[in-house]
Structure 1
Amino acid sequence: MDFVLSGVAACGACLFTNPLEVVKTRMQLQGEMKTPGSYKIHYRNVFHAFYTIGKVDGLGGLQKGLVPALNYQFVMNGVRLGSYAILESGSYIHSEGRVSPVKSVAAGAVAGVLGAVIGSPMYLVKTHLQSQSTASIAVGHQYQHQVSRRRQPVHIMYGC
């Protein structure tokens, strides 16, 4: 149950923070791999980025990558908090009837690494989708992922 509850809670927060992630990702990519002054600045600050993305890409542009972001949050936080709860209920963090700080930290580290490793591929897809924009405000490399509306697997190719 901890898997589901922690995943759902993280998804609720993700609905509100995803627009911030879109703006952050686009601002980070601005001027990627270019010398200062050799690229066009599309986003002067956070407020200008929100305005520009909303104006050019529409309000839906501020929620780009929402589906993989929700999947990522559900899986990563569900695995992380759920696996820690399993370790805790199995008395793996207890020594002589007390909580062992060393075992507790080790259990948290294992749970965190497990969640990050499992969620990492979805985070990559989320970031690629968030960086996609119309040509007039495009920054960085545009991967042009296609989201399929049918229940067929989506094949994503990455090149160097």
Structure 2
Amino acid sequence: MSFGGGGKKESPFRQFFLGGASGCAAACFTHPIDLVKVRMQITGEEKGAAAATAKKSGMLKTGIDVARSEGIMSLYKGLSASLLRQATYTTVRFGLYLQFKEALSRPGEKLSLWKSLACSMAAGAGGAIAGSPADVVLVRMQADGKLPLDQRRGYKNAIDGLAKIVREEGPMALTRGCIPNIYRAMLMTAGQLTSYDQAKAIILAKTDLKDGTVVHVSASVIAAFVASVITNPMDVIKTRIMNQAKTAAPGTVLYKSSLDCAVNILKHEGPLGFWKGFIPFFVRLGPHTVLTFVFFEQFSRLLNLIAK
């Protein structure tokens, strides 16, 4: 795959920068879909009468409801946290993946499937650890409009959110959901990068298409679908744990751990509860994956021109 420099040694700073910059650029386009996904994922946390009256809305209706009740610009709530997340999570996972890949590759040899999986999963874990604090703020800012007025956090931006969480709940609150986030990131990174490699190889072998934009976009969409299917359950668990405060508001569930959250979802919402928000998750991840790789290539070309 062209992503990663084709075996040529590159500056670690360049590799980390390209990952973060491309992720931030893609997030500017896909953030509203991500917000809708979060709103859909936290639906079902209510208990008793609240659960009975909770409306099951699709992606389009959820987006329209948010825009009507909170204003069209509310679809960009949490953008600062999203950019901070990309600047940490995507920067680290892309940079580490390229570094690991470079360390394990031999001149003239293609990296094996298992080595690629190992590189991507290890890089995903590193990215999740770096990006979890921003992820907590992002989830809360996106979910805030769904809470009653007296329970809203009202973070002004990502930095304000980080400061308030530390002040009101302690520093460890920034690690809430870190474990499911690590699992999610490992699956996500493996699903994206390894699936991209395999899909691209199959497309080139089975069709007359040449290595170019059409192949890259097609492989990215396939990779996004695979990553969405295997990642969505952990994403739902991560979102719910990150969204909760120290004590649950009346009528909502307080999860003790990732396992407790998973059992609760299975018990009260059934297996399909783990795939809540799947359509917006995929609709966001598809363009986000494609745009990330496209921006990565364009930014890489730009740096090459500047360096000349």
TM category (shorter chain) comes to 0.7 to 0.9
Confirm or deny that 1:11 pairs with 2:125.
yes
* Structure-2 residue corresponding to 1:143: 253
Q: Is the 8 A contact 1:131 1:139 kept in 2?
A: no
* Structure-2 residue corresponding to 1:64: 176
* Structure-2 residue corresponding to 1:93: 204
**Residue pairs, 1:1-160, within 5 angstroms:** 1-32=115-146, 34=148, 38-39=149-150, 41-46=152-157, 47-90=159-202, 92-93=203-204, 98-135=210-247, 142-147=252-257, 155-157=263-265, 158=268
Amino acid at match of 1:8: A
What's the secondary structure of 2:263's corresponding residue? coil
Distance in 2 separating the partners of 1:16 and 1:134: 22
| CA deviation vs aligned residue, 1:121-151 (integer Å, no higher than 9, x gap) | 100100001011124xx679743122279xx
Q: Which has the higher contact order (CA 8 A, sep 6+)?
A: 1
What's the secondary structure of 1:93's corresponding residue? helix
Q: Is the 8 A contact 2:200 2:215 kept in 1?
A: no
What's the secondary structure of 1:155's corresponding residue? helix
Corresponding pairs, count: 151
What's the secondary structure of 2:264's corresponding residue? coil
TM-score normalised by the chain length of structure 2 = 0.43
Distance in 1 separating the partners of 2:169 and 2:193: 36
Q: Is the 8 A contact 1:93 1:99 kept in 2?
A: yes
CA-based RMSD: 3.0
TM-score normalised by the chain length of structure 1 = 0.76
Structure 2, gaps ≥5 residues long: 1-114, 274-308
Q: Which deviates the most, 140-149 or 76-85?
A: 140-149
Q: After the TM superposition, which segments of 4 or more aligned residues of structure 1 sit over 6 Å from their partners? A: 138-141
| CA deviation vs aligned residue, 1:1-39 (integer Å, no higher than 9, x gap) | 2122122212212212111111121222224165xxx43
Q: Which has a greater percent of helix?
A: 2
> CA, structure 1 residues 140+111, in 2 after alignment: closer, same or farther (shift >3 Å)?
farther
Identity over the aligned pairs, expressed in percent? 21
| CA deviation vs aligned residue, 1:106-134 (integer Å, no higher than 9, x gap) | 12211111111210110010000101112
